[in-house]
């Protein structure tokens, strides 16, 4: 009789251990693990969207780990085995059906933590190149000369990536405003002024783009790269003088802005 009572009460002790460990695990996940992950991503300079995604993933990992630990603590061995089998089967099914998406997701995590490149860097992978506009968890957006290219992150981790901005190279920009009817000619003049500078690198190529409209005027921006980091201000000044002279000859009446 006593053995039956003790045997029956053991289930309640198991349940109690399960809920205590599970509650503690949930608390630690939300109060410690997820905030630490978010803080780490902030230090790495991750975008808000990427930080939120990785924080959610860390929460799911913490929840699943907590469940397994709680089942183990409660000695629910059979249930733990069943859940493990289901999880393994689901992982195989998801991995087979979404292997490219999963690969890009995992690659995105490594990119966010390793920082091989950051927003604003000019990179080239295979035949795709451009300045990094945004780094997300699954894809990275590049600003090419005429369009925006979206590259899956698994392509960036599986292939050689050339980063033209890091090392001894320095990126800089010049902004000008011009009347609406002078946009195309102004782009041409600005491009010539930048390209004629001996200090500006030929690769990556300088980029001329329209960045805004205000009060009947268009804002143009010239992005370029140079190896002379210490003399960047003087380089910018020489380019400004060059395109100002050209603009005067073409009667563009450009207004200069230095960043």
Q: What would the pLDDT profile of 131-149 be if each residue is shown by its tens digit?
A: 888 888 788 988 876 678 8
State the pLDDT confidence band at 230, using cuts at 50, 70 and 90: low
CB 70 within 8 A of CB 22: yes
Q: At 140, which helix (H) or strand (E)? A: strand 139-143
How would you list the strands of the sheet with 217-226, edge to edge?
207-214, 217-226, 170-179, 255-258
> ∠ at Cα 67 (109, 111), nearest 5°?
5
State the pLDDT confidence band at 46, using cuts at 50, 70 and 90: low
Q: Is the pTM of this model over 0.75?
A: no
Q: What is the CATH number of domain 116-163?
A: 2.30.30.60
At 199 the three-state DSSP class reads coil
Both tokens of 236, joined, read: 């910018």
- The pLDDT value given to residue 3: 47
Cα distances from 39 to residues 19, 34, 122, 212, in angstroms, run 29, 9, 27, 34
More confident residue, 199 or 80: 199
Give the Cα separation of 147 and 218 in Å (integer).
19
Out of 111-120, 219-228, 245-254, the most confident range is 219-228
CATH 1.10.150.120 fits 170-258, yes or no: no
At 142 the three-state DSSP class reads strand
Tell me how crowded residue 160 is: count the other CB atoms within 10 A of its CB: 8
- Arithmetic mean of pLDDT, 89-111: 70
- The DSSP symbol for 46 reads -
Lowest mean pLDDT of 122-126, 187-191, 227-231, name the range: 227-231
Both tokens of 146, joined, read: 């005429």
pLDDT above 80: residue 128: yes
Both tokens of 202, joined, read: 């030929």
């Amino acid at each position: 009789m006593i053995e039956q009572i003790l045997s029956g009460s053991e289930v309640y002790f198991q349940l109690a251990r399960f809920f205590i460990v599970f509650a503690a695990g949930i608390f630690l996940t939300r109060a410690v693990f997820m905030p630490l992950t978010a803080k780490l991503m902030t230090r790495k300079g991750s975008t808000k969207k990427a930080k939120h995604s990785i924080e959610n993933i860390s929460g799911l990992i913490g929840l699943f780990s907590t469940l397994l630990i709680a089942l183990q603590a409660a000695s629910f061995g059979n249930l733990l085995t069943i859940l493990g089998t289901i999880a393994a089967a689901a992982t195989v099914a998801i991995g087979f059906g979404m292997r490219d998406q999963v690969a890009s997701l995992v690659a995105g995590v490594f990119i966010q933590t390793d920082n091989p490149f950051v927003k604003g860097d000019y990179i080239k992978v295979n035949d795709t190149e451009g300045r990094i506009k945004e780094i997300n968890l699954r894809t990275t957006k590049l600003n090419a000369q005429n369009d925006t290219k979206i590259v899956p992150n698994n392509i960036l981790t599986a292939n050689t990536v050339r980063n033209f901005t890091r090392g001894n190279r320095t990126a800089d920009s010049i902004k000008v405003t011009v009347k609406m009817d002078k946009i195309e000619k102004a782009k041409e003049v600005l491009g010539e002024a930048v390209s004629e500078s001996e200090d500006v690198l030929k690769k990556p190529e300088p980029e001329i783009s329209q960045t805004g409209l205000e009060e009947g005027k268009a804002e143009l921006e010239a992005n370029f790269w140079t190896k002379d980091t210490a003399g960047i201000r003087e380089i910018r000044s020489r380019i400004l003088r060059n395109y100002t002279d050209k603009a005067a000859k073409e009667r563009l009446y450009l207004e200069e802005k230095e960043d």
